[in-house]
A and B are shown apart, each in its own frame.
Chain A
Amino acid sequence: MLKDLFNKKKKYASIPSEQSKVDIPEGLMKKCDNCYKIFYRKEMNNNLNVCPNCGHHHQLNAWERIDSLFDKDTFVEWDKGMITSNPLDFPGYEEKMENDRKKTGLNEGVVSGKGFLNGQETAFAVMDSRFRMGSMGSVMGEKIARAVENARKESLPFIIFTASGGARMQEGVLSLMQMSKTSVAIKRFSDAGGLMISVMTHPTTGGVSASFASLGDYNFAEPGALIGFAGRRIIEQTTREKLPDDFQTAEFLFKHGQLDQVIHRHDLKNVLGTLLKMHQKGGNPE
């Protein structure tokens, strides 16, 4: 019949019954943000938070990232106890920080340290966007600058995983100056022959993308990550330009020559491992 070719329009909305809500324990299942398919959370976690159906990369928090890359029990954390002093006496800032500390178990939106990746030692900083959107204030700037300095002093490579909405408004111009502080540290490190690798993850925008995230000897990104300088809304408002759907994605940047590679999370450890190896002792295989 001809009418079978057309979908019947539903006459009513389906609302899950109270019973069905009760049956599924909290957090057992996870729905993909992109294809909306539902998976066991465990299945998704075992897949490094990459959707088994469509390959969408969901965010990893700092410790999930570290566990996914570092050889077991080789990670040493630096400057764990550093916290904000609310330098501008910004109203409400400390309460917000306290909430995020409780929520994430972190003291700031970045974890730094050193460890072994595929048997090779490297310094490391990984940002966590759950903490104040991964925004950069004095603590983050100081932790990253120190990690880079430590890498220089110990002649280690430095890998950074960025995830940040940009500058931390509540620290005003001090947060802006963390861009120069980290960049000056990276220059010293680079001049001493240090290898820096930047992996931009979702999202990497504003002051973070306009400083250390873009300063790797190699700049990578995860698929689908939002990366950019100005916010999409601001660009649309100021220029009234029509922006393509893939605007400011990792793939968009790659297309425009801004990235060395877009790397699937499953391949990341191996690519980084190989790259570290190639930069050791002149890169010669033993």
Chain B
Amino acid sequence: MKQILEFEKPIVNLKEKIAELKKFTGESDIDLSEEITTLEKRLADLEDDIYGNLKPWQRVQMARHQERPTTLDYIAELFTDFLEFHGDRNFGDDEAIVSGIAYYKGVPVTVIGHQRGKNTKENIRRNFGMPHPEGYRKALRHMKQADKFNRPIICFIDTKGADPGKESEERGQSEAIARNLMEMAGLKVPIVCIVIGEGGSGGALALGVGDLIFMLENSTYSVISPEGAAALLWKDSGLAQKAAESMKITAPDLFELGIIDEIIAEPKGGAHRNIKQQAENIDKVIEKSLVELNKLSVDELLEKRWEKYKQIGDYKEH
């Protein structure tokens, strides 16, 4: 069963109507092709109108869409010979993060990403893509390896946030995230980060301190979920829609705020409509990024990374 979002219903209704007419034409002698053409034209306009003007809350729904492609979907499309490696060498393996090495156009790269499940069973195994500390420590272990063997790092960001639980606190969730932020700052290899779904708070950022940061058109990046923000600010999680608008969490918002480098376009109706097309769009960006970043010396790379983060923020001085 395909998940249909509320705002997509007019499109689905119209599509059904067209299908009905087509079926009717096939079964009877009456020629309705003129009507069908008119309706198809109207459908195209309607799709352009709805998908071309998505509101922040609608983008949130797109980013959370059940069928939205995950890290492993993109790895399959973009890389070859992917070898996944496991474990943080201290506590365990966290399947909310996948991590390993692969070829990207003949060059070995380290690939790391949050991994959601596509069904309940897989989601339980992967903790709904919410990593525990050992997930971040596994990621860091692989980043350090990338640094040692001079491999670029590609990170896919897609999480509601880091796991909020008793054991995560006991094992130092804060420290694990903080350590990644700090260590990523010093890695001597190019880091390219792509937000493919939800970029939820510190749990997303812990894979996000890159040289270049991109967001898919309908992904979000925020300090807290819209529901959480509404509960905190107005004591009413029902105001999530309002929070989504005020908090500036969409790709165009982040581009305007100067935090991300570029928005990666999605196929009409979202990434899940055409994974191959989406992967191609991502591919172009990765290729361009690596060419650009490989030109820099290590000193230049680190200096640029510092400059990038130094300028984020807005304040007045007296």
Question: Measuring CB to CB, which residues of chain A are less than 8 angstroms from any residue of chain B?
Answer: 79, 81-85, 87-88, 90-91, 137-139, 141-142, 145, 167, 169-181, 183-188, 190-191, 206-207, 209-215, 227-231, 234-235, 238-239, 241, 243, 247-248, 252, 256-258
Contacts and interface: CB of A to CB of B under 8 A. Distances in A.
Contact of B259 (A177, A207, A243): A177
Given A173-B247, A229-B164, A247-B169, A215 B305 contact: no
A214 B179 contact: yes
Contacts of A173: 221-223, 247-249, 253-254, 257, 259
A167 B223 contact: yes
B246 A91 contact: yes
Contact of B175 (A138, A169, A258): A258
Contacts of A172: 222-223, 246-249
Nearest to B186: A187
Contact of B181 (A79, A82, A180, A190): A180
B164 A139 contact: no
Nearest to B318: A81
A179 B181 contact: yes
B62 interface: no
Nearest to A138: B313
Nearest to B233: A169
B63 to A, nearest CB: 14
Given A173-B223, A188-B185, 15 more contacts: A82-B316, A85-B314, A87-B313, A88-B247, A141-B313, A167-B201, A169-B229, A173-B247, A178-B312, A180-B208, A185-B310, A207-B223, A211-B177, A241-B165, A241-B166
A183 B185 CA distance: 8
B173 interface: yes
Contact of A84 (B162, B179, B310, B315): B315
B232 interface: yes
B205 interface: yes
A110 to B, nearest CB: 12
Interface in B199-244: 201-202, 205-206, 208-209, 221-224, 229, 232-233
B300 interface: no
Nearest to A238: B164
B92 interface: no
A212 B312 contact: no
Contacts of B170: 252, 256
A127 B246 CA distance: 27
Contact of A181 (B166, B183, B249, B309): B309
Most buried by A among B178, B185, B259: B178
Contacts of A230: 162, 164-165, 168-169, 173
Nearest to A241: B166
Interface of B: 162, 164-166, 168-175, 177-179, 181-183, 185-186, 201-202, 205-206, 208-209, 221-224, 229, 232-233, 246-249, 253-254, 257, 259, 305-306, 309-310, 312-318
A74 B263 CA distance: 49
Contacts of B223: 167, 169, 171-173, 175-176, 207
Most buried by B among A84, A167, A210, A230: A210
B215 to A, nearest CB: 11
A211 B315 contact: no
Contacts of A238: 164-165
B317 A81 contact: yes
Contact of A191 (B173, B186, B253): B186
B309 A184 contact: yes
A121 B111 CA distance: 44
B317 A82 contact: yes
Contact of A235 (B165, B178, B201, B257): B165
B295 to A, nearest CB: 21
A215 B166 CA distance: 21
Most buried by A among B164, B173, B309, B315: B315
A214 B310 contact: no
A5 B181 CA distance: 61
B209 A142 contact: no
Nearest to A81: B318
A139 B315 contact: yes
Nearest to A235: B164
B165 A239 contact: yes
